[in-house]
Structure 1
Amino acid sequence: MRKYISILLGIIMLATLLSGCAAQPEQSKEPVNFVFMEGVTALTAADMINRDPDLGREIDYNIINAPDLLAASILKEEADIAMIPTNLAVQAYNKDLPYVIAGTSTWGNLYIVGSEDVASVSDLEGKSIHTFGKGLTPELVLLMVLQENGLDPVEDVEINYMNSAAEVGPFLLSGQASLGVLPEPALSGVVMKGENMKVLLDLNSLWAQARGVDKGYPQSCIVIKKSLVEEDPEFVEKFLMEYNNSIEWANENPEALGDLSEDLLLGTPKAAVVQGIERMNIGNFPIEDSMEEYQDYYQAIMDFAPDFIGGALPDEDIYYTR
């Protein structure tokens, strides 16, 4: 009898242990911190933010409005995933920060705009151009395009540098300048406000022609923390698929994208979204399809301003691989 009682007690204890284990909730994963600037890059994620797809863990969408805060989120390793300028990705890599490039958010969206009649780069000879970003991508792209088309940026063109694109636009609209370099969406705002303002030259297309690449130069990219790639590769793949879907949706639905931009406070008015969607150069996301463009862009920076990427070319370990 004692034997049966012992067996029965053992069964009860085992059942209790098993039920207790079953009752324990599965340990939840930490939310993923997704950081990006307002403006065009935010638009690429608009549909994803709006749908907030179930990817197996929570995503915190952190939209910021200052480049230095974006850089700080990488330098302090606060971001798990971020949309950042492609040169910042190399700076981080050269500082041994744990991020890999997973794809392109936007390609070059710098344009020469103005009230003059300019049909080709050669028409810029003897002209004055107001631009911004001295020592950064806007200067690099402009000087490279001028040189590749036979113009000396010092002797043949007068280049006036301003602090930001926000200063170039008012100069054009006030008539103090007749030619300027602007990115989207600031470009659309100027064209809509200025009766004589025209989009004259696409610097990304001119870069592509000069450098012999298909897509131009990668302006902003998505980086992912290596630890997230290693610990949760399934989530990373789902995230990249949903983000790519969001990019495709953005290109196909400018009106709805404009509505989302205003509803989600992404920093671009609907009118500018609809007017400028084709010039924003969103698309061609997968990194494996764009290696030539990245390598060419980094080499061009290395030749022009090495400190802009931290003084060294990255190797293939900077890129996300499946």
Structure 2
Amino acid sequence: MKRYFRLLVILVIITSLTIGCTKDTNINKELKTISFAYQDGTPALTAAKLALENETLDEYIGIDYEMVKSPDLLVSKILKEEADIAIVPSNLAAQAFNKGLSYEVVGTSVWGSLYLTSTEDINNIEELKGKEIYSFGKGLTPDLVFTYILNKNGIDPVKDVNISYLNAASEVGPIFLSGKSNLAILAEPLLTTVMMKKEDAKIVFDLNKEWERATGAQNGFPQASLVIKRDLIEINPEFVESFISTYEESRKWAGENKEKLAEYAEKLEISVNKETIEKGILWNNIEIFGIEDCKEEYKIYYNAILDFAPDFIGGKIPDEKLYFEK
């Protein structure tokens, strides 16, 4: 009888422990939603497949896809750490890091997509001397990249050329189409739209290629980066790996499936003209994404900016902790 009683007690203890472990597991697996923020335009196109198909990557984690229209709103979300994952200008990733924020750069979403466009035949950069060139984003990436390239080619961007700055990339296209300017810095996908409407327009210089020549960078400059919060990386590494892989597939798919991408963009209300996407926007280095394959390009980019406009990256070069490691 005593032996039977002892066995019964042991069985009760084992059952209690099993139930306790199950409860603890369920507590640790609470449902949660993370925020993925990115700007309307080309960054949104890289995430279109991921956002529309909304594949379940983890049964306990949902993703809130948030496309923002304003660059200022995206900056605010990053500086307030409201986004868990985001596609941001690569200089903003450095700024956030230098402010002590916990984002890591995972890879390059968009490589340089800026182009000097003209109706003139211009064969070398020296021929730009004395010309008026319309551009946008004074003090930001388009301006810094272009003026850096001019300097490296012996052209003073203040004395040798006349750069007329507009407030936004969208304002440059109409000026160029009107004939008021025959030299303009255009960003994709606006470039493709303009060239569809103006038959004599041509790409004079691909600034990504010119950046390679000026700096020695193998793949040009990283225009926009995918960043993820460090605590998400540390707490949910399996989800993060799955997300990175699925986003990378979405990004590559965007560059290879223009008709389907146009359909997805329309459904997601991405403000890129359907005909522009179907025509085929230019994607640089669509096969290169992971930070392990392009860290050197970031270091060259940040070093060039530090010499030219240090405040643009927060006053110093970010250390290795900025870069995600698998």
Q: Using the TM superposition, give the Cα deviation of residue 216 of structure 1 relative to its aligned residue in structure 2, in angstroms.
A: 0.5
Structure 2 distance, partners of 1:45, 1:164, is 23
Q: 1:274 to 1:118 in 2, by over 3 A?
A: farther
SS of the aligned residue for 1:277 comes to coil
For residues 164-243 of structure 1, the aligned pairs below 5 Å read: 164-243=168-247
CA deviation vs aligned residue, 1:161-200 (integer Å, no higher than 9, x gap): 1111122111111111111101011111211222332222
SS of the aligned residue for 2:281 comes to helix
Equivalent residue for 2:142?
138
CA contact (8 A) 1:102 1:287 kept: yes
SS of the aligned residue for 1:111 comes to strand
In the superposition, the TM-score normalised over structure 2's length comes to 0.91
Q: Using the TM superposition, give the Cα deviation of residue 2 of structure 1 relative to its aligned residue in structure 2, in angstroms.
A: 9.5
Structure 2 distance, partners of 1:190, 1:248, is 24
Confirm whether residue 30 of structure 1 aligns to residue 32 of structure 2: yes
CA deviation vs aligned residue, 1:32-71 (integer Å, no higher than 9, x gap): 2111111101111112223322211211111111111111
Structure 1 distance, partners of 2:4, 2:283, is 81
Q: Using the TM superposition, give the Cα deviation of residue 154 of structure 1 relative to its aligned residue in structure 2, in angstroms.
A: 2.4
Confirm whether residue 108 of structure 1 aligns to residue 112 of structure 2: yes
Equivalent residue for 1:46?
48
Structure 1 distance, partners of 2:149, 2:11, is 80
CA deviation vs aligned residue, 1:272-302 (integer Å, no higher than 9, x gap): 1233432465441000111111001001110
Equivalent residue for 1:296?
300
Q: 1:126 to 1:36 in 2, by over 3 A?
A: same
Aligned residues: 322
Q: Using the TM superposition, give the Cα deviation of residue 120 of structure 1 relative to its aligned residue in structure 2, in angstroms.
A: 2.5
Query: What amino acid sits opposite 1:194 in the alignment?
Result: K
Confirm whether residue 69 of structure 1 aligns to residue 70 of structure 2: no
Q: 1:3 to 1:212 in 2, by over 3 A?
A: closer
Gaps of 5+ in 2: none
Structure 2 distance, partners of 1:106, 1:191, is 21
Q: Using the TM superposition, give the Cα deviation of residue 4 of structure 1 relative to its aligned residue in structure 2, in angstroms.
A: 5.9
Gaps of 5+ in 1: none
Query: What amino acid sits opposite 2:203 in the alignment?
Result: V
Query: What amino acid sits opposite 2:248 in the alignment?
Result: N
Q: Using the TM superposition, give the Cα deviation of residue 139 of structure 1 relative to its aligned residue in structure 2, in angstroms.
A: 1.2
Structure 1 distance, partners of 2:110, 2:223, is 6
CA contact (8 A) 1:217 1:294 kept: yes
Q: 1:153 to 1:3 in 2, by over 3 A?
A: closer
Q: Using the TM superposition, give the Cα deviation of residue 313 of structure 1 relative to its aligned residue in structure 2, in angstroms.
A: 1.0
Q: Using the TM superposition, give the Cα deviation of residue 152 of structure 1 relative to its aligned residue in structure 2, in angstroms.
A: 2.2
Structural RMSD (CA): 2.3
Question: Which of 317, 320, 324 is matched with 1:320 structurally?
Answer: 324
In the superposition, the TM-score normalised over structure 1's length comes to 0.92
SS of the aligned residue for 1:177 comes to coil
Q: Using the TM superposition, give the Cα deviation of residue 149 of structure 1 relative to its aligned residue in structure 2, in angstroms.
A: 2.1
SS of the aligned residue for 2:32 comes to coil
Q: 1:13 to 1:299 in 2, by over 3 A?
A: closer
